[in-house]
């Protein structure tokens, strides 16, 4: 399942992924509970978005980390031979090739580090400072 908000091809594209790990419900529930607010914010700031709110529904329904095949839905993004193919991720990877987002955010929950957040960047590191500043309004962060 995905939600998309594409208004103008010239606007930046944000992709959000949640629910890779079934025992991490907070990102999934946040997207569903605040989807209207998220949509209004995207419109207000002229940002296109593709949101995958629940990558691993089987694990989510059972409150377990892995998918039906016992694999992590946060694996095999690189396509390395040593990693098994994860169907849920292959679907998203095909979409990412078509969409080519400016920013890709994979949301997770860490019950061992309450009130903290993490930011990892690869391509658009100029967004890292903005994400940290935004998150720091609500949480402490690790550097």
Query: What pLDDT score does 3 carry?
Result: 82
What single DSSP character describes residue 85?
Answer: P
Tell me the C-alpha to C-alpha distance, in Å, between residue 14 and each of 11, 36, 43, 77, 113.
10, 16, 12, 18, 26
Closest C-alpha to 117, from 97, 138, 86 = 138
Rounded to whole angstroms, how far apart are CA atoms 90 and 18?
15
Specify whether the backbone of 54 is left (phi greater than 0), alpha (psi in -120 to 50) or beta: beta
pLDDT of 143 over the 60 cut: no
pLDDT higher than 70, residue 141: no
CA distances from 84 to 7, 16, 116 (A): 36, 23, 31
Closest alpha carbon to 124 in 40, 14, 24 = 14
- pLDDT bracket for residue 50 (50, 70, 90): very high
pTM summary value: 0.81
């Amino acid at each position: 399942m995905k939600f998309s908000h594409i208004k103008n091809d010239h606007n930046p594209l944000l992709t959000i992924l949640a629910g890779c790990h079934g025992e991490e419900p907070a990102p999934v529930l946040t997207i569903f509970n605040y989807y209207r607010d998220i949509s209004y914010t995207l419109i207000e700031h002229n940002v296109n978005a593709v949101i995958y709110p629940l990558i691993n529904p089987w694990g989510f329904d059972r409150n377990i980390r892995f998918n039906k095949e016992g694999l992590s839905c946060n694996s095999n993004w690189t396509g390395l031979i040593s990693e098994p193919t994860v169907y849920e991720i292959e679907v998203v990877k095909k979409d990412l090739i078509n969409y080519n987002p400016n920013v890709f955010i994979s949301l997770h929950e860490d019950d061992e580090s309450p009130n903290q957040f993490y930011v990892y960047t690869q391509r658009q590191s100029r967004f890292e400072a903005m994400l940290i500043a935004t998150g720091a309004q609500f949480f402490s962060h690790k550097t």
